[in-house]
Amino acid sequence: MTWLLLVAFPVASALAVWSTSRAGARASTVLVVTAALTTIAATVNAALATVPPFLGGYVHADDTVRLFAPVVNVIFLGIAAYVRARIAIEPASRQSVFLSLVFLAACNLALLANHLLVMWIGLEASTFAAALMILRADASASRLASWRYLLFSSVGLGLVVLGMSCLTRSMEHAGREATLFLDAMPAAVAGPADAWRLLGVALILLGIGTKLGLAPMYMWLPEAYDEAPAPVAAMLGAVQFNVALVLLFRVVHVYRASCGELITGELVTIGLASVAVSTASIVATQNFKRLLAYASINHAGVIAIGLGLGQAASFGVLLYVLSNAFIKAILFLTAGKIEAHYGTKDTRAIAGLIKDLPYSGLFLMVGTFALLGFPPFGSFLGELLVLSALVTSGQMFVFAAFCALITISFVATGRTIFPMIWGQPKQERTWPRQRARDATHKLIFLVLLLVLGIYIPPQINALMTSVAQSLEGP
């Protein structure tokens, strides 16, 4: 029952913030304290044994929850610390803190859910909260970005609901009781797949793919990430993305055995298409926030390919997912600092970061190395395992195309980002010194990122192995 604290803490704090007129430092302090409490609760509970379904079977805490709940909450804590550190420059409004807490509660609810529809409700609630947080009074373009985010997310989640309806129809057609409880679904879907099941799985994969920013319905993501404030972009890319991915993991776990060919074909296809469109966009863009957004699409494509292949790639996918969660948190928060400092997102107008903003320059440099899959980061090994699985599965065309596209995006990203870091400053100015303590949260992310690449503790390794095995079916 203590897992419910992950939802109870942010809900209680949200109500407290909304019922008072306090804003600014006090509201942001509530945000940090609440995130710290949920992080502690998630970490402590994750260290204990799995918890079977409770509350009528609607909530559980299996190995997937034990792996992702601490990651999601520690990243949210880092984002909250970033908001608190910048309170003098960018005061946190009561509404933004309230929506952030609702977002956290909804994401944790979706993680803990043992029912597909409850997971859907959690994702939908987090979507509404995020859409309102994307809006900025001083940026009219944020209205269109927020609307497109909400529209595409609603379409994607609508496809998921339609897919669920098809799945329950398939169960009824086979003479079994229709259920969306995750622990009961494997028994209800035993046997060969019929047309309803295949249609339902295809729609759900397409719908969740839309939420993840995968092709063909990815157009919302660059605009939303670009226009959203840095903390919100980090929430979308490093928190909500992983919650939506857990929903995809649940579906793959249940239906891999009976719909394996469909899952492999659809995920590999949309994954490769996503890598292709993102690579072309990375080459063309001169906006560093959009570049990070396109890189997110690229990474989502790699994850989809690896998840579609399964087997040996599954552990690599998990390593890649966890590494990229911390990479995106570091880079989006750093991008927010850079944009606020220079007043522009144009890469051609920024140079000499390592001199002007030493800590931001350092985090952008290290984050970019991790983004590009350099060793010793976990993204390197994860990508290597996916490439190896492509070869062993005989997908040589996909392997060749994947290698070519990754190489192009590698060169294009380095060509754009590295001059920002080491180039000659455009004009000589005296900037206020950065304080090391303001970057503590990103330093913690960096340490965790290095742990995933250098030495994974046995307990975490066992947890990742268990989750990877679950992706092959019940």
Q: Which residues does 418 contact at the CB level (< 8 Å), separation at least 6? A: 365, 368
Phi-psi category of 191—alpha, beta or left, where left has phi over 0 and alpha has psi -120 to 50? Answer: left
**Section 357-367 average pLDDT:** 92
Q: Give the pTM.
A: 0.96
Res. 188: pLDDT tops 90: yes
**396 burial type by CB count under 10 A (0-12 exposed, 13-18 middle, 19+ buried):** exposed
Cα 188 vs. chain centroid, distance in angstroms?
A: 30
Res. 25: pLDDT tops 90: no
Express as a percent the part of the chain with pLDDT over 70: 96
pLDDT digits (tens, 9 = 90+) for 283-301: 999 999 999 999 999 999 9
pLDDT for the residue numbered 425: 75
Res. 355: pLDDT tops 90: no
Which run of H or of E encompasses 51? Answer: strand 51-54
Residue 300 near residue 208 (C-beta atoms within 8 A): no
Express as a percent the part of the chain with pLDDT over 90: 83
Residue type, 85: A
Residue 391 near residue 399 (C-beta atoms within 8 A): yes
CA pair distance 296, 371, nearest whole angstrom: 9
pLDDT digits (tens, 9 = 90+) for 380-436: 999 999 999 999 999 999 999 999 999 999 999 999 999 999 887 766 655 556 666
pLDDT digits (tens, 9 = 90+) for 446-458: 999 999 999 999 9
pLDDT for the residue numbered 429: 56
Greatest alpha-carbon span in the chain? 75
**Section 270-276 average pLDDT:** 98
**Section 174-187 average pLDDT:** 95
More confident residue, 27 or 363: 363
Residue 398 near residue 304 (C-beta atoms within 8 A): no
